[in-house]
Amino acid sequence: MTATHPLPGIATQAPVVPARALRLPGCDRRLAYAAHYWPATVMNLLRRHRLRATVDEPRLSAPVSIPPALRRDWQALFDADAACPLLVNQSVGTLLYTRLFGQLGLNFRRLLHVQHRTEYRVGPETFAAAAQQSLVCELDGCWRLAEDKGLVVLRTQIHLPAAEGGGLLAAVEDRFVIRHVPTHDWAQLPPLDDRHAQRDLSGLRRRRPGIDVAAAGTRVLPLQLPADLGRRYGRVSGDHNPVHTTALAARLFGLPRPFAQGLALRNLIVSELHRLQAPLQRLQLTFAQPAYLGQTLRLVLRGDALELLDEAGRVLVFGRAQN
Packed helices 90-104 and 229-237: angle between N→C axes, nearest 10 degrees = 90
Residues 6+ apart with CB under 8 A from 110: 49, 178, 179, 180, 181
User: Do the two domains 16-192 and 206-323 of this chain adopt the same fold?
Assistant: yes
| CATH code at 206-323 | 3.10.129.10
Alpha carbons 226 and 295: distance in angstroms, whole number: 7
Mean residue pLDDT across the chain:
93
pLDDT of the residue at 2? 41
pLDDT of the residue at 200? 72
Percent of the chain with pLDDT over 90: 85
Alpha carbons 228 and 257: distance in angstroms, whole number: 12
pLDDT digits (tens, 9 = 90+) for 47-66: 999 999 999 999 999 999 99
pLDDT of the residue at 147? 84
Taking the domains of the chain in order of start, what are their residue ranges? 16-192, 206-323
CB 145 within 8 A of CB 153: no
pTM summary value: 0.93
Among 70-74, 117-121, 243-247, 298-302, which is the least confidently predicted range? 243-247
Q: Which CATH superfamily is domain 16-192 in?
A: Hotdog Thioesterase (3.10.129.10)
* Residue 77: pLDDT over 70: yes
CB 212 within 8 A of CB 218: yes
